[in-house]
Structure 1
Amino acid sequence: MPYLFTSESVSEGHPDKVADQISDAVLDAILAQDSESKVACETFVTTGLVVVGGEIHSSAYINLDKLVRQVIDDIGYNRSEYQFDAKSCGIISTLHEQSSDIRQGVERESVESQGAGDQGMMFGYATNETENYMPLTLELSHMILEEMAALRKSGKVMKYLRPDSKSQVTLEYTDTHQPLRIVSIVVSTQHDDTIGDEKQMQTRIEKDLKKHLIPKVKKRLPKHLSAMLMDKNIQYLINPTGKFVIGGPHGDTGLTGRKIIVDTYGGKGAHGGGAFSGKDPSKVDRSAAYATRHIAKNLVAAGVADQILVQVAYAIGKAEPVGLYINTYGTAKVEMSDQEISAKVEKLFDLRPGLIIKRLGLKSPIFSPTAKYGHFGRQPGKIEVANSKGRKKKYETFTWEKLDYVKKIKTAFKLK
C-alpha cells in the first residue's frame, strides 16, 4: 500500500540552530589551536542574551565574545528590532575544565586503545531514493531553507524575509518505498511587519516562493524528482498560524542539540538520542554517528541493499564496540542475512573510536558547516581555517560522506 512520510528542517536563524552554530564555532576555534582538545560546549539563547557553558580541556585561548557575535552577525541577526542582535546581546560564559574522571577513560597511549567518551548507541542510515543517499523528504526540506536563506542574504528579492524559518515536506511513497508525489509543502518564515494583513502576507509569500525559490530547488534535483515540483496538486501551507514577525531567540529560546532529527535523517532510520554540535570527536555521539553514516552510504552505493540502517554501541572508556547491528529492511541485493552482512562489515570497518577519528580526520576544525542544514547528505570539500597566529590551513569537510569504500565492499560481497 502507498503511504505518506514527512520530514522537516529549520533555518540557520532558528533559535536552536543559532545555539548549535555557536557551540560548533567554539569547538572549531579551539581545535584550530589544539587538535587534542576535549570540548563539550552547550549554548542557550533568548531575548538579548547568549549563555555558553560546558566542559573544556585545552591549551587554546579564544575570544569568546568576538566569536559569538560573529556567528550571530553571519546568520543575519544584525538589527535591534529583532531584540536579539550581534552588537547588543549580552554574552555570559560558564565554561570550565572537563572532569578528569571522564578524561581518564578516553585518553590512551595509542590511537587503537582510545576509549569511548560515553556509553550509548549511534545510528547511520542511507537510502538510494536520492543521489546523495538521503530521504527525499528531508532533502527537499533542507533545500527550501537553504535557497530561502540565499535569497534573504542577497537582498534582491523577498526583502521582507527575516532569519527564522521552518519547512516541512510530505511525500507519497509507493509500497516499494519509491517517491511518488509531493503531497504538501509547509513553510513558516519570519518576515517584516510591512506586507499587509495575514491573508495578503500568505498570498504574497506563496507567490514569491513559487516564482523565486521553487525553480532553484528544481535545478538541484535530477529530472525525475524535480518533475514532482511541477504538480499543481501540491498543497502549500504558508505561515499557517498567521503573521510571523516575532521570531528567533526573542520569539523562542534556543538550546544546543534540540534538532537531532533535522540534523540526521528526518525521522527515517533511527536515532540514538545524542546530539552532535559542540562535542569534540572523542564523544562517540558524534564520531560514531558519522562513522555509521559512512558505512551505510557506502553499502547502499555498492549495491548491497536499497536502504540500510547501521547501529553501533559503546561502553564509556572501552575501545571495542559492545554491539553492531544492521537492518536492510528486506531490501538486500545479496543472498545473506542481515547478521551475515554485519559480520562482513565488522571486518571492513574498524569502529574503535580512535580509528574512526583517524579515518575521518575528525580532530580538525571542520564542524561549523555541519551546524545548519544537516550533518549528512552534504558534499565533501575543503575549508580554510586560521589558527591563533593567523596561519591558514585547509581541512577536508564531510569526510563521512565520501564513497571511498565502495570498491572494497563490492569485492567483499562479490558484487560487480
Structure 2
Amino acid sequence: MSSIIFLFFYNFVKISLLFYFIDLFIVKILYFMSVKISECVSLGHPDKIADYISCYILDEFIKQDPYTKYALEVQVKDNTINLAGEVSSKCEDIDYKALCQKALIDIGYNKDYIAKWGGENVINYEEIHVNTFISKQSQTIAQGLSGWGDQGIFFGMAVRNESTDYMPFDYFLAKDINKKLFASNLGGLDIKTQVVTKGNDITKIIVAIPLLNNDTKNVEEFVRQNYKGNYELIVNGTGSYISHSSIADCGITGRKLVVDFYGSGCNIGGGSPWTKDGTKADLTLNLYARKKALDYLKSSNKDYIKCQIGCCIGRKEIEVIITDKNDEVLEFYVENRLPEEIINEFNLRTPIYSLLCKDGLFSRI
C-alpha cells in the first residue's frame, strides 16, 4: 500500500514539475516575444525640419484661405531649401523664403544657436536659398474631391495603457526621452533616441545628441535620473557629434513615418500625413483610423486594437476593418463618410498643422 502511495505522489510530483517547466518555458517565450524596438527623432532632425517647413507654410495658406488645396514636398541640404508640389489657393501673396526662415527660428535654429554652434555646423536661416517648383493642383484630382482625393490604405491602433497615451510602451518611451532631451538644453537640437524593451522593462537606450565638448556625462546622468532600471545606455556611439541639421544630412519630407505613427507597434499605409491639407486621405483617414481604434478599445475588453481603412478616389465609401492583437477580425463594414465631415471633426480648416508636426500627429485625439 505504501509503495502505491509513494508511486502516486512520485508521479504527481513529476507531472507537476513537467507542467511547471512547460509554463515557465511558455512564459519565457512570451517574454522574449514581447521584445520591442522603437526610435524617435526631434524636430531639429533634418527630415523633421523638412516636414515642419511644409506644415508651417500650409498654416499661412490656411490662415488666408481655409479651403486651400496643398501638397508641397520639401528638401533641405546645407542652406538650400527646395519646395516642390502643387498649391491651389485664393491666397497669392506668400513669401516662401520668409516663412522658411520663421519655421527654422521656431524650431530653435535662431541667431544665438547659430553663434553657439557655428554656421559650419548648423543651418543658418539668414543664409538660406529657397527654390520653388510649385504649380496648381491637377484638375483631374480636383474633380474627384466630392469624394476622397486618392485611393489608399490607412492604419490606426491603440493599446490599453492610459499612462502611455494608449500608445505602445517602447514608442512612448523613445518619444518621451527625446522630448525631455530636446527641452533640456544639454546639447543640440538634432536628437535621435532608440529603446529596446522586454515587456515593461527597459533593456537598452541609445541617444545621439550634438555636444560641443563630446562629454556625454551630463546626458547620461539626465537619462539615468529620469528613467530608472538596469539597462545599457549608449550616448553618441561614434564618440563625436557636432555638425548637425541639414549641414550633416539632407532632410526630406515624409522620411520618418514610422516615428510619426506607432514605432514598431503597427503597420503603416506608407503615405505621409505631412505636406498635405485635410482633403488628402493620407492625413485625414490616418487620424480617423487612430480615433476609431481608440474608441473601440475604450468600449471593449481588448488590450490592443488595430483599425484598417481603405478608400477610393472620387468615392465617399470607406472600408473599415477592426482587429485585435492576434489579427482576429472583430468588425468589418462599409461606412459613408465625406472628407469634409472628417475634416471638420479634426478642425483641419484651421492652422494647426505645424502644431501637429511639433506635438505629434495624434496629439489632439
| TM-score with structure 2 setting the length | 0.84
Correspondence for 2:247 = 250
Q: 1:236 aligns with which of 233, 237, 240?
A: 233
2:248 & 2:203 partners in 1: Cα distance? 29
Q: Which residue of 2 is the match for residue 62 of structure 1?
A: 94
SS at match of 1:150: helix
What is the distance in 1 between the residues matched to 2:177 and 2:137? 39
Q: What is the identity percentage for the equivalent residue pairs of Structure 1 and Structure 2?
A: 30
Structure 1 SS opposite 2:208:
strand
Moved over 6 A (4+): none
- Structure 1 CA distance for aligned equivalents of residues 346 and 168 of structure 2: 23
Amino acid at match of 1:170: V
Shift of 1:330: 4.4
Whole-angstrom distance in 2 between the partners of 1:330 and 1:118: 30
The equivalent of 2:40 in structure 1 is 9
Q: Quote the residue 2:171 is aligned against.
A: 138
Q: Deviations for 1:81-115, whole angstroms, at most 9, x for unmatched residues?
A: 43411111211222221111111111xxxxxxx21
Question: CA separation of 1:255/1:265 partners in 2, compared to 1, >3 Å: closer, same or farther?
Answer: same
State the partner residue of 1:271. 268
Is the 8 Å Cα contact of residues 281 and 362 (structure 1) preserved in structure 2? yes
Match of 2:344 among 358, 364, 371: 358
Query: Quick check: 2:120–2:247 contact (8 Å CA) kept in 1?
Result: no
Q: CA deviation at 1:352?
A: 3.3
Does 2:23 correspond to 1:23?
A: no
Compute the displacement of 1:141 (Å): 1.2
Aligned to 1:370: 356
Q: Separation in 2 of the partners of 1:5 and 1:373?
A: 23
Partner residue in 1 for 2:329: 338
Alignment of 1:107-186 (within 5 A): 114-131=146-163, 132-152=165-185, 158=186, 161-173=187-199, 179=200, 181-186=201-206
1:373, distance to aligned residue in structure 2 (A): 5.1
Shift of 1:208: 4.1
**Given the alignment of the two structures, is residue 292 of structure 1 paired with residue 308 of structure 2, yes or no?**
no
Q: Distance in 2 between matches of 1:249 and 1:172?
A: 34
Shift of 1:170: 1.2
Larger radius of gyration: 2
| Distance of 1:70 and 1:276 partners within structure 2 | 22
1:101 has 2:140 as partner:
yes
The answer (yes or no) to whether the contact 1:19–1:254 under 8 Å persists in 2 is yes
- State the Cα deviation string for residues 278-326 of structure 1 (Å, max 9, x = none): 10111101100000101111111223521111111111111112x2211
Q: Secondary structure at the match of 1:191?
A: coil
Question: Is the contact between residue 43 and residue 53 of structure 1 (CA under 8 Å) also seen in structure 2?
Answer: yes
- Please tell me whether the aligned partners of residues 49 and 84 of structure 1 are also in contact (alpha carbons under 8 angstroms): no
2:257 to 250, 253, 260: 260
Q: Helix, strand or coil for the counterpart of 1:267?
A: helix
Match of 2:323 in 1: 327
Does the aligned pair in 2 maintain the 1:191–1:245 contact within 8 Å?
Answer: yes
Secondary structure of 1:133's aligned partner = coil
RMSD: 1.8
Give me the whole-angstrom Cα distance separating, in 2, the residues matched to 1:367 and 1:134. 21
Match of 2:208 among 188, 197, 203: 188
> Which deviates more from structure 2 when the two are superposed, residues 3-12 or residues 131-140?
131-140
- Letter of the aligned partner of 2:322 in structure 1? I
**C-alpha spacing 1:148/1:83, structure 2 compared with 1 (3 Å):** closer
2:125 alignment partner, SS class: coil
Report deviation, 1:253.
Answer: 0.2
Unaligned residue ranges in structure 1 (runs of 5+): 107-113, 153-157, 174-178, 196-200, 215-228, 332-336, 379-397, 402-416
